[in-house]
Amino acid sequence: MDKLFHIFELTEGKINEIRSRTYEAHFHDFDELILITQGSLEHFIDFKVELVQASAACYVSMNKMHKLMPHRDLRGWVIKYQPEFIPNSNLNFYSNFFTSTNIPLSSGSCLSKFTTLCEIIQGEYLQEFADNTTIRHLVEGLLAMVDAERKRNLPIESIVKASQVEAFNNFLKILEENFRRDEGVSFYAGKMNMSERNLNLICKNNFQKSVSEIIETRKLIEAKNLLLHSIKTVSEIGFELGYNEKSYFTRVFHAKMGVTPSHFREMSQSIIS
166: CATH? 1.10.10.60
The CATH number that applies at residue 116 is: 2.60.120.280
Residues 145, 202, single domain; the answer is: no
Is the pLDDT confidence value at 23 over 80? no
Long-range contacts of 236-244 (CB under 8 A, 24+ apart): 237/261, 240/180, 241/179, 241/180, 242/179, 242/180, 242/181, 242/182, 242/183, 243/182, 244/182
Q: Write down which residue in 152, 179, 208 finishes a domain.
A: 152
Q: Write down which residue in 86, 119, 152 finishes a domain.
A: 152
Residues 35, 123, single domain; the answer is: yes
Q: Do the beta carbons of residue 34 and residue 68 sit within 8 Å?
A: yes
Is the pLDDT confidence value at 272 over 70? no
Q: Is 240 helix (H, G, I), strand (E, B) or coil?
A: helix
Is the pLDDT confidence value at 144 over 80? yes
Is the pLDDT confidence value at 273 over 70? no
Range of the domain at 263: 155-273
Check residue 102 and give its pLDDT. Answer: 86
Check residue 157 and give its pLDDT. Answer: 65
If you average pLDDT over every residue of the chain, what do you get? Answer: 89
**pTM score:** 0.81
Q: How confident is the model at residue 120 (pLDDT cuts 50, 70, 90)?
A: very high
Residues 175, 115, single domain; the answer is: no
The DSSP 8-state label assigned to residue 26 in this structure reads B
Check residue 84 and give its pLDDT. Answer: 92
Q: Write down which residue in 152, 171, 205 finishes a domain.
A: 152
How many structural domains does the chain have?
Answer: 2
Check residue 49 and give its pLDDT. Answer: 85
Is the pLDDT confidence value at 170 over 90? yes
Residues 171, 195, single domain; the answer is: yes
